[in-house]
A = this chain, B = another copy of it.
């Protein structure tokens, strides 16, 4: 067990945004809300999933919506607690622990709001080990956990309970509702037992996010190379260093989709990196060759500060370092690749493990 206090949230938001592979929302918003919740209550107990009783209910929470919308529309903070409590009431049980749905700048911190307000422990882990754009894209789905009953709440006081025949249907209906609710909604979903959570989650994601953020902060104090520090801490592979030449983005059906082109600098001078994203970075092509494909992680960092670059903050002239990292092993199964592999997202590519396409640097 590890106590997470107000100051730790800066680190978690930064670390979460790095794991968020360009998506998972603006780090600033979630952090502010989580800090305020801890201030009003007390520090959050971050626990290992094995500490939750096998028959206890573990319930993930997150915000759903397109990051480009989120930056314009601030949630109040209590809607996510309302969603959590409504689900508990609906199920007629008592929840034992909160869980993080996805790592990401925003959604690595939103579960702390619920944990602080309810006094429940927060399980160290999440459903992705990164961020993904659709809500069926969680390791929970691979283990047969159903997304519903699920509660969506908005900032106006509306709430919706979904009961669906598949997690894909949950995504469709929740997405339509979220778009109608103004572009974002707060969710409590995938209720599961502590026993199921033991194997259905990606373990340790929040602790890793906190460590990444702290390590990055300290590296700056020591004037160490922040990108190299992150690469080492993650065990990541160097993918590219370059300058953003061009970004195209459009919001389609509640998603921020787009493509970015980078021209290389330093060792990559003369080379080009093309990144395709849908909230998160999904494909990296170096000089026309696909070198990293979802579900492996593509992370963009500011070349000077090491700060994570989200897809919505990408802009012309930005100097970035791209790192790549292998995803959680659960994603590499045939079922995992069917759910989050390149073909699901419409790319005519087979998944190739990043460690086969990139040489360690």
- Does A222 interact with chain B (Cβ within 8 Å)? no
- Does A180 interact with chain B (Cβ within 8 Å)? yes
Q: Are B165 and A157 in contact (CB under 8 A)?
A: yes
Q: Are A173 and B169 in contact (CB under 8 A)?
A: no
Mark out the residues of chain A between 177 and 191 whose CB falls within 8 Å of any chain B CB in the assembled complex.
177, 179-181
- Does A172 interact with chain B (Cβ within 8 Å)? yes
A316-346 contact mask (Cβ, 8 Å, vs B): 1 or 0:
0000000000000000000000000000000
The residue from B158, B163, B175 contacting A159, defined by CB atoms under 8 A apart? B163
How many Å lie between the Cα of A64 and that of B333 in the bound state? 41
- Does A1 interact with chain B (Cβ within 8 Å)? no
Q: Are B162 and A162 in contact (CB under 8 A)?
A: no
How many Å lie between the Cα of A163 and that of B156 in the bound state? 11
The residue from B157, B163, B176, B181 contacting A180, defined by CB atoms under 8 A apart? B176
Pairs across A and B, CB under 8 Å, 18 listed: A156-B165, A156-B169, A158-B164, A158-B165, A158-B169, A158-B173, A159-B162, A159-B164, A160-B160, A160-B161, A160-B163, A161-B162, A172-B180, A173-B180, A175-B180, A176-B177, A176-B179, A177-B177
How many Å lie between the Cα of A292 and that of B53 in the bound state? 68
Query: CB-nearest residue of chain B relative to A175?
Result: B180
Query: Within the complex, what minimum Cβ distance (angstroms) separates A162 from chain B?
Result: 6
Residues of B within 8 A of A180 (CB): 172-173, 175-176
Query: Within the complex, what minimum Cβ distance (angstroms) separates A16 from chain B?
Result: 30
Residues of B within 8 A of A165 (CB): 156-158
Query: CB-nearest residue of chain B relative to A170?
Result: B158
How many Å lie between the Cα of A160 and that of B175 in the bound state? 13
Residues of B within 8 A of A158 (CB): 162-165, 169, 173
Residues of B within 8 A of A172 (CB): 180
A161, A169, A175, A181 — which one has the most chain B CB atoms within 10 A of its CB? A161
Residues of B within 8 A of A177 (CB): 173, 176-177
Mark out the residues of chain A between 21 and 75 whose CB falls within 8 Å of any chain B CB in the assembled complex.
none
Query: Within the complex, what minimum Cβ distance (angstroms) separates A360 from chain B?
Result: 45
Residues of B within 8 A of A159 (CB): 162-164
